[in-house]
Structure 1
Amino acid sequence: MYASQLRMRSGDSEIHGWLTHERIVFYCSGMCVLYVVIIGLWAYASHGFTDQRLTRPGEDFSIFWSASYGLLHGSAMQVYDHASFDKLQRLLFTNVSHDSVMPWLYPPTFLVLISPLALLPRLVMYFVFVGGGIALLSAGTLRVSGLADSFRGSRFAWFVVAVSPCVFVTALFGQNSLLTAGIAALTLHWLRRHPVRAGLCLGLLAIKPQMAVLFPLLLIAARAWRTLAAAAFSAALFGVVSVLVCGVQSVRLFFVNTGIARETLLEQCRGYWLASPTVFAVLREGGAPIVAAFAAQACVGLIAAAAAWHVWRNTRDTRLRASSLVVATLLTNPYVWHYELAWLGIATASLIALGLDKGWLRGEQSVIALAWLLPVYELFNRTAELPQIGPIVLLLVLLIVVRRVRVKDEERDERAALAYSHAARIIR
């Protein structure tokens, strides 16, 4: 009762929740039907995915499988050399839909991690890779968010996480975001009770270092020194092993290739801007100079990092910490594709669980619904060419997380004041 009165006074009144357990399951079931329709229309338009003018499901995974094949049957240099890798992909896949224009953009750590993929046929390993990623992300997200408890122990909680749009979009491409998001979720889950295990897990994000950019800052905010040390050890060991396998030259070529990608894709490709929920993409699409776009991206990134620091310093609630981390990570990076929004699934699940457990604050449900649908919007925006709303939605999600922390602080102060008043009456 006191919490509701407090929210009424602070302007964050508790409202009736239209996001109920039943409706959430219904919306997820509706999305499953939509997924089937999308795949069916895609198969029809591409004549069973044989039309070379159209991409196929698992297009990005084909790159991973090709890199594994190149490492197992040649060397890492064959993968990092753009001309050799392009030739290898054409040899492996005769019906490549378009010219390969991008080099291998991942560090040696990821190349070593995916090296077993080519041991089995591409289609088989595509389902193994995607299925394993969905299982990992679902398990980590459910543990961080406590969504299963919010659903009163219902198994539908697994369904809600596994069929969310952010998972579907990533699975379509066979991207590694399910894997990186699952690693982040498990790290957050183990942070309080198993700090060393959390750090060792965090070190695996060396496969995509830009997605771990805020973890050190927030671990310092939480004074999680053992986790930070274990993460540094794990990442360093992983890096050394990868260099031993791939060679020192692979590190240099990795930076060369990422430089090429920055110049040709990040800074100049409109198709990327339409599908990227970043401030940089919005400004470049609007015609802003590259320097101005990077400057604005840096400013928003600093604001997001400061907000996440505030959350981690002022609450120990894992759901709020996880939500602030993943959203701030997406806002900080200038290079974020629609499939990277798999990370956003951790935040939406956590905020849904908070709303179901503690009641909804004004505007929360609408923001969560927008965030839940954002990956689909970004997926089709390369065709629709609508305004890029991604950064606005992400900033709104971060705002409701910060507001939740403020409400918790006010509730704590209110309880302290009531306890002091009660003690004073007893003394008198």
Structure 2
Amino acid sequence: MDVSQLRMRGTGERVRNWLTPERIVFYSVGMLLLFIVMMAVWAWSSHAFAERGVAAPGTDFSIFWSASYGLWHGSAAQVYDHVWFDGLQRRLFDDLHRSNLLPWLYPPTFLVFVSPLALLPPLAMYFVFVGSGLVLCSAGTLRVSGLTGSLRGSRFAWLIVAASPCVLVPAIFGQNSLLTAALAVFALHWLRRAPLRAGLCIGLLAIKPQMAVLFPLVLIAARAWRTLAAAALSAVLFGALSVLVCGVQTAQQFLVNTGLARATLLEQSRSYWLASPTTFAALRDSGVPIAGAYAGQASVALIAAAAAWYVWRGTRDMRLRVAGLMVATLLANPYVWHYELAWLGIALACLIARGLDTGWLRGEQTVIALAWLLPVYELFNRITELPQIGPVVLLLTLLIVVRRVRLGADARAGRTALVYSHAI
């Protein structure tokens, strides 16, 4: 008895299947064309991104490249100095139209990780950085989701993953979320067959440690002790290497900068709240005091962690496990920008493949469509200033994962009861 049969028995009606492989390909091609048109209009209206007061693509990547240059031509401690680093960026990129300060807020592990970037010119390395993240994230997503098989071997499987807004938005900014998503998805892909390699990937997430917050929980749930040990050891060694290369002072400066970012950006910046699909951002933008927003975020984080535990204990279906972990990670963090929704893209690929294979449950297709469009909503919400719906969409996505696991458990219990009744 598969999930679709269980659904039919429970509801007595068939769910309309409008999210077909053909339509998925059509929507993906349409999104890619819209992205190309948007970039062309953006370039034309800003005179090739040279107009004062207009943001340019790759803004975040320029921070990474500047940090690499500063490490080679200065010191790691200077990179963490806001004034020195801002002056360096302005000299390197002649960014006269940018008035806001873009400090280095990442841990020393990520500074070591990006250190090779300045070995090539910024434009060339931008395409290498974004391209490698896109390829790795797409390849890992296709492997864990089995989307190619679900589409009956369609050659468009790569396009569906790569043309997702969850990929296109971080590509615009040149963000590292495609690489962190790739590390996460390959860790899950190798979890059973190569536990030490999986642990190494998780350990490398020390470049953005908040994105690894739920990995220990699900590894314990799966009793993946070798992977857990490998992840802990590799994270410690990577952290020690970064301190050795950058100096103990940088670890202290990172903590200071983190506190400043929390006080000024996370807690007080409406520009951040409008682009952050988190419970904390939604509550703060609605006027909830800081203490109440933290309490709400903590409550949702506990729900997300409990859901991730339930999914990883309740099923061995790797697609549901991956989807549950990806969405729960986004919900558990108070500091998530729109580009971190690259992790959501992995979950959506797994859920689409599962739906195509076993049939759709009521409401699933609508939730997946809303989640697929969420990065676009968050990207433009600084202009539209609409209510922050991100946590609602993410909670609904997590709900359909949990429901799939529950129905699978009910199906197994039904089969057990049937066998028992026959035995009697």
The interval holding the TM-score normalised by the smaller chain is over 0.9
Partner of 2:277: 277
Shift of the 243–29 alpha-carbon distance from structure 1 to 2, 3 Å rule, reads same
For residues 97-122 of structure 1, give each alpha carbon's deviation from its aligned partner in whole angstroms, at most 9, with x where no partner exists.
32342421101111111101011110
Q: Distance in 2 between matches of 1:334 and 1:11?
A: 37
Q: Residues 61-210 of structure 1 correspond to what in structure 2 (within 5 A)?
A: 61-210=61-210
CA distance in 2, matches of 1:12, 1:172: 46
- TM-fit CA distance, 1:45: 1.5
Per the TM alignment, residue 50 of structure 1 is displaced from its structure 2 partner at its CA by 0.5
* Cα deviation digits, residues 27-81 of structure 1 (max 9, x gap): 0010111001111111122111111211100010000000000001111011011
Match of 1:292 in 2: 292
1:93 CA displacement: 1.4
CA change 1:421–1:20 in 2 (3 A) is same
SS at match of 1:361: coil
Distance 1:380 1:142 in 2: 28
Aligned to 1:354, what secondary structure does the other structure show? Answer: helix
Matched residue SS, 1:148: helix
Q: CA deviation at 1:2?
A: 6.7
CA distance change for structure 1 residues 378 and 421 in 2, over 3 Å: closer, same or farther?
same
Match in the other structure for 2:336: 336
Q: Given that residues 14 and 360 in structure 1 are in contact (C-alpha distance below 8 angstroms), is that contact kept between their aligned partners in structure 2?
A: no
Contact 1:12 1:362 in 2 (8 A): no
**SS at 1:393's partner residue?**
helix
- TM-superposition CA deviations, 1:188-215 (whole Å, max 9, x none): 1111221111111110000000000000
Q: Secondary structure at the match of 1:15?
A: coil
Q: Please tell me whether the aligned partners of residues 280 and 334 of structure 1 are also in contact (alpha carbons under 8 angstroms).
A: yes
Contact 1:165/1:373, CA 8 A, preserved across alignment: yes
The answer for the alignment partner of 1:395 in structure 2 is 395
Which residue of 2 is the match for residue 214 of structure 1?
A: 214
User: For the Cα contact (< 8 Å) 2:4–2:360, is it kept in 1?
Assistant: no
- Preserved CA contact (<8 Å) 2:3 2:358: no
Aligned residues: 424
Deviations 1:319-369 (A, max 9, x none): 111111111111110100000000000110000000000000000000000
The residue number in structure 2 matching 1:356 is 356
Q: Distance in 2 between matches of 1:416 and 1:190?
A: 31
Distance 1:182 1:96, change over 3 A: farther
Distance 1:208 1:259, change over 3 A: same
Instruction: Tell me if the contact between 1:278 and 1:334 (Cα under 8 Å) persists in the aligned partners.
Output: yes
Question: What residue in structure 1 maps to residue 49 of structure 2?
Answer: 49
> Structure 1 residue 374 and structure 2 residue 374: aligned?
yes
Q: Say whether the 8 Å CA contact 2:219–2:228 is kept in structure 1.
A: yes
CA contact under 8 A between 2:112 and 2:242: conserved in structure 1? yes
Aligned equivalents of 1:361 and 1:303: distance in 2? Answer: 22
1:345 is matched with which residue?
Answer: 345
Offset at 1:410? 1.3
SS at match of 1:366: helix
Cα distance in 2, alignment partners of residues 11 and 117 from structure 1 = 56
1:315 aligns with 2:315: yes
Relative to structure 1, is the Cα distance of residues 250 and 13 closer, same or farther in structure 2, using a 3 angstrom cutoff? farther
Q: Tell me what 1:406 maps to.
A: 406
Residues 13 and 362 of structure 1 are in contact (CA less than 8 Å); yes or no, is this contact kept in structure 2?
Answer: no
Question: Which 5+ residue runs of structure 1 have no aligned equivalent?
Answer: none
Question: 1:233 corresponds to which residue?
Answer: 233
Deviations along 1:144-201, whole A, 9 cap, x unmatched?
1111111112221111001100110000000000000010000111112211111111
TM-score normalised per structure 2: 0.98
- Secondary structure of the structure 2 residue equivalent to 1:197: helix
Distance 1:187 1:96 in 2: 41
Per the alignment, do residues 16 and 218 of structure 1 end up closer, same or farther by CA in structure 2, a change over 3 Å counting?
A: same
Contact 1:76 1:246 in 2 (8 A): yes
**Cα distance between partner residues in 2 of 1:125 and 1:359:** 43
Whole-angstrom distance in 1 between the partners of 2:279 and 2:416: 41
Change in Cα spacing, 1:349 to 1:221, as seen in structure 2 (3 Å) is same
Which amino acid in 2 is paired with 1:225? Answer: W
**Following the alignment from structure 1 to structure 2, what is the Cα–Cα distance between the partners of residues 85 and 150?**
48
Gaps of 5+ in 2: none
Asked if structure 1 preserves the Cα contact closer than 8 Å seen for 2:323 and 2:347, the reply is yes
Q: Per the alignment, do residues 14 and 73 of structure 1 end up closer, same or farther by CA in structure 2, a change over 3 Å counting? A: farther
* Alpha-carbon distance in 1 for matches of 2:364, 2:23: 16
Give TM-score, length-normalised by structure 1: 0.97
Give 2:131's aligned amino acid. Answer: G
Distance 1:79 1:361, change over 3 A: same
> Contact (CA 8 Å) 1:200, 1:231: kept in 2 or not?
yes
CA contact (8 A) 1:367 1:393 kept: yes
Q: Deviations over 1:299-336 (max 9, x none)?
A: 01101110111111111111111111111111110100
Counterpart-to-counterpart distance in 1, 2:4 and 2:202: 38
| Fraction of identical pairs, as percent | 71
Report the aligned-residue RMSD. 1.3
Seen in structure 2, the aligned counterparts of structure 1 residues 303 and 12 have a Cα distance that, compared at 3 Å, is farther
- Relative to structure 1, the CA distance from residue 2 to residue 184 in structure 2 (aligned partners, 3 Å threshold; closer, same or farther) is closer
